[in-house]
């Protein structure tokens, strides 16, 4: 299963909104440096889906706000 994400790093609040069945928008406090925002976004998505963060793989968009992840 593939999921599209739009990540907003360095936000004042952390939240996640489900836009469609396979699309989420995530705000994280982590800065967009050294992959910290990516890690925070994947953890937030895992929490929202009720799965372990290790079961989410970043496929595309490591250096972009638009990302595609795969649920293993």
Residue span of the structural domain in which 34 resides = 2-71
- pLDDT for the residue 47: 95
User: Which residue has 């989410």 as its token pair?
Assistant: 56
Q: Write down the pLDDT at residue 9.
A: 97
SS3 72: coil
The ranges of the chain with pLDDT < 50 are none
Query: What is the sign, positive or negative, of the torsion defined by CA atoms of 22, 72, 38, 67?
Result: negative
**How much is the pLDDT for 11?**
95
pLDDT value for 17: 96
Number of domains comprising the chain = 1
CA distances from 68 to 13, 20, 22, 33, 52 (A): 22, 14, 10, 19, 17
Task: Return the CATH number at 61.
Answer: 3.30.1200.10
Q: How far apart are CA 16 and CA 25, in angstroms?
A: 6
């Amino acid at each position: 299963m593939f999921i599209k994400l739009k990540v907003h790093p360095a936000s004042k609040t952390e939240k996640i909104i489900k836009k469609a069945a396979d699309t989420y928008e995530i705000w994280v406090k982590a800065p967009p440096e050294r992959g910290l925002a990516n890690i925070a976004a994947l953890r937030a998505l895992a929490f929202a889906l009720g799965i372990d963060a290790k079961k989410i793989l970043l496929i595309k968009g490591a250096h972009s706000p638009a990302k595609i992840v795969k649920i293993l």
